[in-house]
Amino acid sequence: MQTTTSDRLTVRAEEDVVKVRQATRSLAQKTGLNLVDQTKVVTAASELARNTLVYGGGGEVLIEAISDGMRSGVRLTFEDKGPGIADIELAMKDGFTSGTGLGLGLSGAKRLANEFRIESRLGEGTTVVITKWKG
Amino acid sequence: MADPTGVTVSTISRLPKLLKIHEAQILKVWMDEQLASLSRRAGLIGDAELRAQSKNFLSEFHKATQSGSLEDISGPQWASAKALLADICRSRAEQGFTPMETASFVLSVRGPLMDRLQQEYGNDAAGLAAEMRSSNLLLDKLALYTAEVALQNRETIIKRQQEEMLELSTPVVRLFPGVLALPLIGTLDSARTQIVMENLLQKIVETEATIAILDITGVATVDTLVAQHLLKTVAAARLMGADCIISGIRPQIAQTIVHLGVELQNVATKATLADALFLALQRNGFSVQRLAKESAGAK
Amino acid sequence: MERIPILRMGDFLLVTIQVDMHDRVALALQDDLTNRIVKNHARGVLIDISALDIVDSFIGRTLANIASMARILDAQTVLVGMQPAVAITLVELGISLPNIRTALNVEKGVSLLRAEVENNIMERDANYDI
């Protein structure tokens, strides 16, 4: 796996969620994702950035163009130092929410991406990584 | 690129020198051999193209051997030779060569090269053996590299053809102003659904259709997943302002849908495409009737 | 903070969302629209999202809320102009906005709204008869 370009953004306010969307869009375009896949990864980025802000109390997003030799894609890593998730399995269920959302953030982002990984420790924070491959 | 022993192979290799002096002669012999063995598939590649490829390869090969790295082709010295091979692989894949045939392009230079080495070394059997060994290894590596790239290309082509076939197999037809039909045939997996959705929604935009008929007469089986895919398509069309009617529901499929507990809420369903078209016309404010003259004539 | 303009066309209100909305702008639109429905006695609301290149769960929920609130205030809502890629993504996300009427473009949206409002009035008149 090779990273060709990367960009790190902080998520501290609502405006930052918009910036994450825009940065993801521009990298997805550069990587050559088709319009539907661009829309999917930008929407997933929006959901996860909002989670980072609302539930994680803010954090960072790493936006990378990656390639594994055969294919290229976009990888997004959302990191926060928030309270963490007690029951990841429960949090991944459609409709589950600990806040005011629709509860589609995590499960929806997973459906929109090709690869999805979540790690969380109570009291330490949460990291979510998604990858969208071209084609 | 120093050998652990401190002696680099290149210090003893006469390959670069040989190539420098005899490049034209080697090319000629190599070309003759290739043309003879290729005769069966001569239609696939022109002589001029083959000559250009062979000439370029020899010259890149020569340049790379001059750099002194005859064991490791992963270094920058071999980048340009490998790029040329990758190019050749691409064009040959399009021309219909198999990966094996493409790799044998590299291997076929072995004969002319070995002949030259033999002449060069004369009676020095030990020197010839060492040189042959290292040259063979080198050509094997290049051939393996070529085969790998050729295989990758092949996979890419197959994938592209599959996608093209998927698109061909999901036509969207305009039945009447404002009414589209999608005859679905075969299986409806998630990749297919994706293309069906994209085609349908694009066509809704182009034709300003308000009703789309999804005809599943040709869908072999409907399980929970297929039903889900159908419902997703219906939901996406509705978000764009078009209502869907599902038609072509065979008795068996109706039974399966109920047994599976799948709910086709808010979706009109009809047994046949004709019934669905009638409903679509009705919804759009049209009615269908036989002309008086003809109906009288029929009686 | 920027606000999304609301235009009045007779009995209807027209909103064209053209900015990449952050969440507070979406909530402000919800406030402004409900206020304007009451103030202008609007019978219908047309929301044009043809310029939006994504709709995530938050925007989706805000749109659904606006439609529900408008209904309580006796106005019909029609959402128009959703792009194909946005529709596909929204469905994949798990949102189908079942309680919102939709149309392909503003023109179709207006005629749908007219029909809906007329229907509504007829229904109401019928109820008075009883």
Instruction: CATH number of the domain at C52, please.
Output: 3.30.750.24
Q: Do A40 and C20 make contact, defined as CB atoms within 8 angstroms?
A: no
Question: Which percentage of chain C shows pLDDT scores above 70?
Answer: 94
Mean pLDDT of A103-120: 90
Q: Does C66 fall in a domain? A: yes
The overall average pLDDT reported for chain A is: 90
pLDDT attached to residue C127: 66
Mean pLDDT of A43-64: 95
Query: Does residue A94 belong to the interface with chain C, where contact is any CB pair within 8 Å?
Result: yes
pLDDT attached to residue A86: 85
Give the DSSP letter string of B1-28.
Answer: ---TTS--HHHH--HHHHHHHHHHHHHH
C10: left (phi over 0), alpha (psi -120 to 50) or beta: left
Which chain C residue has the Cα nearest residue B190? Answer: C92
Ordered by where they begin, the domains of chain B are: 9-161 (1.10.490), 173-298 (3.30.750.24)
- The ipTM estimated for the assembled molecules is 0.90
Q: How many domains does chain C have?
A: 1
Residue type, B122: G
| Rounded Cα–Cα distance for residues C28 and B228 (Å) | 36
The model's confidence at residue A94, banded by pLDDT at 50, 70 and 90, is confident
Mean pLDDT of C6-24: 90
pLDDT attached to residue B42: 61
Q: Does C44 fall in a domain? A: yes
Q: Does C1 fall in a domain? A: no
pLDDT attached to residue C102: 96
Best of A19, A24, A46 to mutate (most C CBs within 10 Å, chain C): A46
Give me the sign of the Cα torsion angle B203, B209, B210, B213: negative
pLDDT attached to residue C128: 63
The model's confidence at residue B241, banded by pLDDT at 50, 70 and 90, is very high
Q: Does C43 fall in a domain? A: yes
Domain of residue C116: give its range.
Answer: 6-129
* Domain A2-133 part of CATH 3.30.565.10: yes
B164-189 pLDDT per residue, tens = 776 667 789 999 999 999 999 887 88
Kindly tell me if the per-residue pLDDT of A46 is higher than 80: yes
Kindly tell me if the per-residue pLDDT of C125 is higher than 80: no
B248: left (phi over 0), alpha (psi -120 to 50) or beta: left
* Binding-face residues of B in 24-53 toward C, CB within 8 A: none
Q: Name every chain B residue with its beta carbon within 8 A of the beta carbon of C77.
A: none
Q: Nearest CA of chain A to the CA of C94: how many Å?
A: 7
**Which tokens go with C121?**
């009035």
CB B77 within 8 A of CB B67: yes
Q: Which residues pair with A26 in a beta bridge?
A: none
Q: CA Rg, chain C, in Å?
A: 15
Q: Nearest CA of chain C to the CA of A47: how many Å?
A: 7
pLDDT attached to residue B9: 45
Kindly tell me if the per-residue pLDDT of C70 is higher than 70: yes
Three-state DSSP string of chain A: CEEEEEEEEEECCHHHHHHHHHHHHHHHHHHCCCHHHHHHHHHHHHHHHHHHHHCCCCEEEEEEEEECCCCEEEEEEEEECCCCCCCHHHHCCCCCCCCCCCCCHHHHHHHHCCEEEEEEECCCEEEEEEEEECC
Residue B264: strand, helix, or coil: coil
- From first CA to last CA, the distance across chain C in angstroms is 50
Best of C104, C106, C110, C111 to mutate (most B CBs within 10 Å, chain B): C104
